[in-house]
């Protein structure tokens, strides 16, 4: 989960794109080559230099085979959002006011990232232990 933020007053998706792109680029230090968004971002307010780098689902024009593959990959994001809502308490906010909303969104994303990190470390430790056991079995007594 790279960017999570609560936006007060339920703004239209297309009106949030400029801010999300700017904050993501600041966070990562890299320029965004292409953004794949859902149909709610039609008529987006992204900066003019991103006009031809934002692709919406179902778009037919300016879509080469590589972009078509990457657009299909975008559907993998929806289960992550559902997982955040069900497993990381983002479905129901128990914190107060707008600050609580913002805190809940960030903490849910951080919890998701920590869970992935712990899973990765578990797999790494398992591989290290397997290699150690194999080396111990190969050493003659």
Question: pLDDT tens digits for 14-35?
Answer: 778 888 888 888 888 988 888 8
Share above pLDDT 90 across residues of the chain, in percent, rounded to a whole number: 15
| pLDDT digit string, tens, across residues 116-131 | 999 999 999 999 999 9
CA–CA distance, 87 with 112 (Å, rounded to integer): 9
Count of CB atoms situated within 10 Å of the CB of 14: 18
Distance of CA 56 to the CA centre of its chain: 17
Distance CA 37, CA 57 (A): 6
- In this prediction, residue 141 has a pLDDT band, given cuts at 50, 70 and 90, of low
Q: How many other CB atoms sit within 10 Å of the CB of residue 28?
A: 11
Mean pLDDT to the nearest integer, 91-118: 85
- pLDDT 10s digits, 70-84: 887 877 777 787 777
Work out the angle between the directed axes of helices 97-138 and 77-87 (0-180°, nearest 10): 100
Of 41, 28, 26, 30, nearest to 1 by C-alpha is 28
Q: Residue 33 carries which DSSP code?
A: S
- Distance from C-alpha of 114 to C-alpha of 136, rounded to nearest angstrom: 33
Residue 40 clears pLDDT 80, i.e. is over it: no
pTM exceeds 0.95 for this model: no
């Amino acid at each position: 989960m790279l960017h999570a933020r609560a936006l007060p007053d339920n703004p239209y998706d297309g009106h949030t794109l400029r801010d999300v792109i700017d904050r993501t680029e600041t966070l990562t230090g890299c320029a965004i080559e292409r953004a794949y968004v859902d149909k709610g971002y039609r008529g987006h307010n992204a900066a003019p230099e991103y006009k031809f780098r934002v692709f919406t689902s179902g778009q037919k024009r300016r879509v080469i085979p590589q972009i078509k593959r990457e657009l299909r990959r975008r559907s993998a994001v929806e289960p992550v959002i559902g997982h955040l809502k069900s497993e990381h308490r983002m479905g129901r906010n128990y914190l107060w006011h707008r600050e609580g909303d913002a805190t809940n969104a960030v903490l849910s994303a951080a919890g998701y990232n920590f869970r992935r990190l712990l899973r990765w470390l578990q797999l790494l430790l398992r591989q290290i232990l397997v290699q150690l056991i194999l080396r111990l079995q190969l050493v003659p007594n």
